[in-house]
Amino acid sequence: MVAYFSEIFYGLISLFQGMAITFKEFIKPPVTVSYPYETLPMCDRFRGHVELIENEDGKANCVVCGLCARACPSGCITLAGVKPEGEKKKVLTKYILDFTRCSLCGSCVESCNFNALEFSKEYNLASRRKEDFIFDLLGRLEDRNR
């Protein structure tokens, strides 16, 4: 009989301790963000998908050396370029990133010797279609410049 009442007593103490914690948290201001209407700034070290960096002319810094594609363990980068007649360097014509295969390892950014790649701060990438995650980075760079 004593064990029965001691269990009830310790159960009530536990209940009141839990309710005290709940009440203390209830009167604190909320720390949540109303997501679609408010967003938090991303930290400097956030790794989103890869983006091309532009030079002063508004064109990509990429010289189509292919180091990024060779360094990528996932094989998610496809690039192509042409060498115009009379020019010394190739011109980038296609840079495709298949983000469904990207592991965000950063090997492509580290291997680029020409400061042509960086991680974006874009984190709101939600879709049900695979095609939405295949990025034409050259097209995105041109759209940013318009």
Burial class (CB in 10 A: 0-12, 13-18, 19+), 68: buried
36 has a pLDDT exceeding 90: no
pLDDT in tens, 79-127: 999 999 998 889 999 999 999 999 999 999 999 999 999 999 888 888 9
Find, among 118, 55, 62, the residue nearest to 93 by Cα.
Answer: 62
**Which residues have CB under 8 Å from 74's CB, separation 6+?**
101, 102, 103, 105
**For the chain, which residues make up each domain, given as ranges?**
1-31, 50-145
- pLDDT at residue 134, as a whole number: 96
Let me know: does 88 contact 118? Beta carbons within 8 Å: no
Structure tokens at 81: 């370029």
Of 29-38, 66-75, 133-142, the one with minimum mean pLDDT is: 29-38
Structure tokens at 23: 């009440």
Torsional sign, CA 137, 138, 140, 144:
positive
Using CA atoms, how far apart are residues 94 and 14, in angstroms rounded to an integer?
Answer: 64
Using CA atoms, how far apart are residues 116 and 54, in angstroms rounded to an integer?
Answer: 7
CATH number of 50-145: 3.30.70.3270
Name the band, by pLDDT with cuts 50, 70 and 90, for residue 138: very high
Name the band, by pLDDT with cuts 50, 70 and 90, for residue 8: very high
The residues facing 117 across adjacent strands are: 52
